[in-house]
Amino acid sequence: MRDDCQTVKTMAPSGGGIYHYSACQHGTSCSQWMFPSVSYFYTLSVPIATNGQPFPWDRMRLPKTVFPLHYDLTIHPNLTTLDFSGVARIQLDVREDTNTIVLHAKQMQVSNVLLLAPEGVRPLQVLEYPQFHQLALRPDSVLTKGRRYEVHLEFAANLSDSFHGFYKSSYRTKSGEVRVLASTQFEATFARAAFPCFDEPAFKANFTIRIIREPRHISISNMPKLKTVELPGGLLEDHFDTTVKMSTYLLAYIVSDFVSVSRTTQHGVNISIYAVPEKIDQTAYALDAAVKLLDFYDDYFDIPYPLPKQDLAAIPDFQSGAMENWGLTTYRETGLLFDPDKSSASDKLGITKVIAHELAHQWFGNLVTMEWWNDLWLNEGFAKFMEFISLDITYPELHVDDFFLGKCFEAMEVDSLSSSHPVSTHVENPTQIQEMFDDVSYDKGACILNMLRDFLTPEAFEIGIIRYLKRYSYQNTVNSHLWESLTDVSGLCVSKWYSGDELDVRAIMDTWTLQEGFPLVTVEVRGREVRLSQERYLKTDDPSLIEGFLWQIPLTYMTSASSTIHRFLLKTKTDVLYLPEEVDWVKFNVDMSGYYMVHYAGEGWNSIIKVLQHNHTALTSNDRASLIQNVFQLVSVGKVRLDTALELSLYLSKETEIMAVTQGFGELVPLYKLMEKRDMAALENQMKGYIVELFRGLIDRQEWTDSGSVSERVLRSYLLLFGCVRNYPPCVAKATQLFNQWKDSDGTMSLPVDITMAVFVIGARTPEGWDFLFEKYRHSFQMSVKSRLKSQSLSGEIMKTQDLPDVVVAVSRNPHGYKLAWDFLRANWHTMIKKFDLGSHTISYLVNGVTNQYSTREMLDEVKSFFGSLTEETGSELRCIRQTYETIEDNIRWMDTNLPLLQHLRINT
């Protein structure tokens, strides 16, 4: 950035008129000083507080003049009137002389604000600026650097009726009684809605919590309870031990009628699972998993878990999957509760993975925290990656490796659009921060870490991340801190790749984290010579968007002549490598451990197709899955003809491994889904018939039981459900027979868990079957059964609002329901963004889920017309809307290019 100030006009982040912002390197020559690590700030236009006075701070990020050291927090929720009040006493460390304390508070009444200074207690003037959720506290004299002060604030607010802040949740007992509880969800910017605080991750402090409650409830928080004091009026006050130094978003407390089960780990940590009383018998599996995984991480990271306890709480209303609050992780009920008789193999896998994810965060995220949300991937990419590392060792029977590749494919789906973003990207306002919780931060983050681990060797990688965690415990980090810790150990593995210069991990990884997208490596074999070139893979018809991207790519390859994995670091646009001898075929990106696609130019794809048709097990199942994904994705950008991709897919009639089979479905099913939305019945049925025929042998071999490994069981559920949905006669006949037996037993007959979805899909096709299933849903207390019986009721009475997005997207997948889902999304848009929050992953999932199968100009115009009518406050700037436009345009291009070919193929079948 240049030294001189450049002042330009921009919209304010929250849409409130025009601001001027200045960008400069030093800040001293600007009208306002700037703080480190943020290069934009607002000047000239003075913000006005709610009382009409000028607000003394004009930036969204808080000043670095005052830091909190310790919060004494008393909270009193009233579960009858659904509001809460409290007192916060915050000890402050003044780092520069200042006459203003700026902190966060959102939608609450703040009163009786006092400064406790060495010279006595005095009131503070309070100014509010709701647009940035900020309060400015002004003393009558300057606060002096190096001196300690304390502020006292009293506050009150309603319990939120969304899923964030301090919010209301409820559940219905078997007898029909509705019970209310209050729980917290503070990530990313919602602690400020529960108490006044410095609500940014770099403002770490210690917290001492007290909670006032009625005797019929219990309270839990991050730390163990020290004592309970009786208050006048029959109330109780629970006092909790002081937390370690941590960010505000990790604070948590729950007031409820939950009960718990507990065990102690080998390292002496007390683990408890909390749930509503009638579901506590579904917690045994989660308790075992949490004990096993916390012990694993304790050893793996070589850093003892720093708290005396770890609670896991199943919350009846919960928007995301789970939350890593330090010492009190919170979960959806489906993410924690498991019934061995009624839960499926994929339920078990999902529960174990989510617990592994949240417990990994106790080190990655909680102990060492990103400095700002632009590096969220340091938390989420690592936790996603550690799910697979930890389960591979602690639960080998879950075969978690069979599912990792799917995460990389999901990330590439988003990352192949020009509206993608770098893993580490500038964010400022709460909506932009929320948008960071996406497949790029989680799944791409995990996939590039997996690539780096393969590159450095697992041993060197583990030494490096332990060094990183130890070096930055209780601190905040940026990308480069991680790369430095890993570069220190890279000498252990240099010879594996090339001799010569010291390996610079940062130089390599900056190309993966600081630019969006990923590379397509084109490989052309000519005799012993292999010509390599790289470009950005991008679904666009604008070639200018592809230019200027260059990655340092850790290439791996094997050939028909040798199963040895060869390695080569591609740093340039083009390069050449030489094979020791001529070969029949070469496969790059072995096991797809690298986050890139490969195009085999010349005769390359034909030689790959030959090996798949004649001896597909010469390649691993991950290699086969990556070839399927690569070839169909290359059709989208015109590098490969559709008939070549379909020819490669023919080998799938011999495939049995889950990753390759599900990727086959993942590439082929969307083709007829595009046609379903266009009334092209003949061609659509031909495509459906082709897929059923391809997998018919595998479907026929499935038993209607719960036998086999987790991967075999997950695959069985998938195949039988597909067979039933596609009306494959043997599937329909068996499912009908089983549904009738189950219905005749009034639902008491025990169906094999893995096949229930297939059976219910067929059963729900008749009005009587539908009504019977609906009744069973209403009265089911097994969370896994509820998730398989999700009803299309949108009232929130029968079905939890948290499940609404899944239902809307499911309806949109139905050829008869997609217009209904789109109409519902439009009609309820403002309710949805209030309930689920602007920028959240849930809103993105809804927008993309409902629209990503449209492929006509008419639908694109309709989608643009609706989203174009929104204001910035109601979502017009959301990234998911740009992604939707791009996806529909890509679908239109795909259909324009490939429909004639498909129609021609139809003549020849």
Q: What is the pLDDT of residues 534-566, one digit of tens each?
A: 999 999 878 888 888 999 999 999 999 988 999
pLDDT at 776: 82
Pairing mode, if any, of strands 519-526 and 597-600? parallel
Quick check: 29 pLDDT over 60?
Answer: no
pLDDT at 768: 92
Pairing mode, if any, of strands 66-78 and 206-213? parallel
- 693 is known to lie in a ligand binding site: no
Residue 418 dihedral angles phi and psi, to the nearest 5°: -70, -15
Residue from 605, 606, 610, 602 nearest 531 by CA: 602
Question: Active-site residue numbers?
Answer: 358
Taking phi first (over 0 means left), then psi (-120 to 50 degrees means alpha), and beta for anything else, what does residue 120 get? left
Residue from 873, 840, 808, 847 nearest 318 by CA: 840
pLDDT at 491: 59
- 361 is known to lie in a ligand binding site: yes
* Omega of the bond leading into 193 within 30 degrees of 0 (cis): no
Percent of the chain with pLDDT over 70: 91
pLDDT digits (tens, 9 = 90+) for 435-475: 898 889 999 999 999 999 999 999 999 999 999 999 999 99
Mean pLDDT of 274-286: 96
pLDDT digits (tens, 9 = 90+) for 75-127: 999 999 999 999 999 999 999 999 999 999 999 999 999 999 988 999 999 99
- CB atoms under 10 Å from CB of 737, counted, come to 13
pLDDT digits (tens, 9 = 90+) for 292-313: 999 999 999 999 999 999 999 9
The two tokens of residue 660 are 């390759």
Residue 705 dihedral angles phi and psi, to the nearest 5°: -140, -175
pLDDT digits (tens, 9 = 90+) for 577-593: 999 999 999 999 999 99
DSSP state of 844: H
Q: Quick one: pLDDT band at residue 20, thresholds 50, 70, 90?
A: very low
Beta-bridge mates of residue 586: 559
Q: Quick one: pLDDT band at residue 144, thresholds 50, 70, 90?
A: very high
Quick check: 909 pLDDT over 80?
Answer: no
Query: How distant, in Å, are the alpha carbons of 4, 754, 791 from that of 721?
Result: 63, 10, 17
Q: Give me Rg for the CA atoms of the chain.
A: 28
pLDDT at 558: 95
Quick check: 740 pLDDT over 60?
Answer: yes
The answer to whether residues 743 and 706 touch, using CB atoms and an 8 Å cutoff, is no
pLDDT digits (tens, 9 = 90+) for 756-810: 999 999 999 999 998 898 888 777 765 555 555 444 444 455 567 888 888 888 8
Q: Quick one: pLDDT band at residue 12, thresholds 50, 70, 90?
A: very low
The answer to whether residues 339 and 322 touch, using CB atoms and an 8 Å cutoff, is no
The answer to whether residues 35 and 58 touch, using CB atoms and an 8 Å cutoff, is no
User: Which H helix or E strand runs over 889?
Assistant: helix 879-907
What residue type is 204 in one-letter code?
Answer: K
Residue ranges and CATH numbers for the domains of the chain are 57-257 (2.60.40.1730), 258-370 (1.10.390.10), 377-384+403-414+426-648 (no CATH), 795-908 (no CATH)
User: Mean of the per-residue pLDDT values for the chain?
Assistant: 89
What's the whole-model pTM score? 0.89
The two tokens of residue 151 are 């502020």
Q: Quick one: pLDDT band at residue 492, thresholds 50, 70, 90?
A: low
Q: Quick one: pLDDT band at residue 680, thresholds 50, 70, 90?
A: confident
Quick check: 219 pLDDT over 60?
Answer: yes
Quick check: 876 pLDDT over 70?
Answer: yes
For 354-370, give one letter per residue: b (16+ CB within 10 A) or e.
Answer: bbbbbbbbbbbbbbbbb
Measured between alpha carbons, how far is 452 from 511 in angstroms, rounded to an integer? 12
Beta-bridge mates of residue 261: 273
pLDDT at 787: 57
What residue type is 188 in one-letter code?
Answer: A
Q: Quick one: pLDDT band at residue 742, thresholds 50, 70, 90?
A: very high
The answer to whether residues 127 and 53 touch, using CB atoms and an 8 Å cutoff, is yes
Write out the DSSP string of 19-44.
Answer: EEEEE-SSSTTSSS---TT---EEES
pLDDT at 784: 54
Measured between alpha carbons, how far is 790 from 798 in angstroms, rounded to an integer? 10
- 333 is known to lie in a ligand binding site: no
Least confident of 306-315, 637-646, 829-838: 829-838
pLDDT at 495: 45
Quick check: 7 pLDDT over 70?
Answer: no
pLDDT at 744: 93
Mean pLDDT of 875-899: 92
Cα 229 from chain centre: 40
pLDDT at 224: 98
pLDDT at 203: 98
Cα 576 from chain centre: 38
What residue type is 749 in one-letter code?
Answer: M
